[in-house]
Structure 1
Amino acid sequence: MGILGWIVLGLVVGALAKLVMPGDDPGGVIVTTLIGIVGALLGGFIGRALFGTGLGDFFDLRTWVLALLGSLILLGIYRLVTRRRART
């Protein structure tokens, strides 16, 4: 998958992750895209480690599910870090 494919996947999956986990986040579109892209990579790593399968093609359902799973994990970690920083 090319770099443009990763950016599109990151934008869509990052937005889906924010829809699944609603709340007030200090990030905008750039942070959403970055969370989606890094979350997709994290999801691919988790999928390969646990199930022996990684990210497939752009239109493969496995790619989107693993990317969404990784983005949700990363969004949860991001919220924990930003809340701790806001409290101190």
Structure 2
Amino acid sequence: MSIITWIVLGALAGWIASMIVGKNSEMGAFANVCIGIAGAFIGGFIFNMATGVGFTGFNVWSLVVATVGAVILLLIINAFQKTRHDKMDQPVNR
């Protein structure tokens, strides 16, 4: 696949994932592309281990795989951000 295809598929997957997770208003186009491309790797690995078929090119299946991976990545990022914010809100004992 060409770099343009990765960018387009990553943008679509990242955008769909950000809407599913509820982060669409907080993310820009560059973040959607990065999350979508990383999600393609994560989803490809997970789907390849589970079904034997991972990321296959520019098609609907690959969009689903990349979107699932991007959702998983966003949920992990949200969990870490929530933990960090919770620790920052605690008073310091002196």
TM-score range normalised by the length of the shorter chain: 0.7 to 0.9
Larger radius of gyration: 2
* Matches of 2:42 and 2:25, distance apart in 1: 20
Q: Is the 8 A contact 1:25 1:79 kept in 2?
A: no
Unaligned runs of 5+ in 2: 89-94
Unaligned runs of 5+ in 1: none
Normalised TM-score (structure 1): 0.85
Q: Is the 8 A contact 2:15 2:24 kept in 1?
A: no
* Matches of 1:80 and 1:26, distance apart in 2: 16
Q: Is the 8 A contact 1:21 1:72 kept in 2?
A: yes
* Matches of 1:24 and 1:55, distance apart in 2: 24
Residue identity over aligned pairs, in percent, reads 34
Is 2:26 the partner of 1:19?
A: no
Is 2:44 the partner of 1:28?
A: no
Structure 1 position 22, deviation (Å): 1.1
Q: Is the 8 A contact 1:11 1:33 kept in 2?
A: yes
Query: How big is each residue's C-alpha offset from its partner over 1:26-84, in whole Å with a ceiling of 9 and x where there is no partner?
Result: 543322221111001111111111100111120x2210111111011001011111222
Provide the aligned length of Structure 1 versus Structure 2: 87
In the alignment, which residue of structure 1 is the partner of 2:69? 70
Query: How big is the alpha-carbon RMSD for the aligned residues of Structure 1 and Structure 2?
Result: 1.8
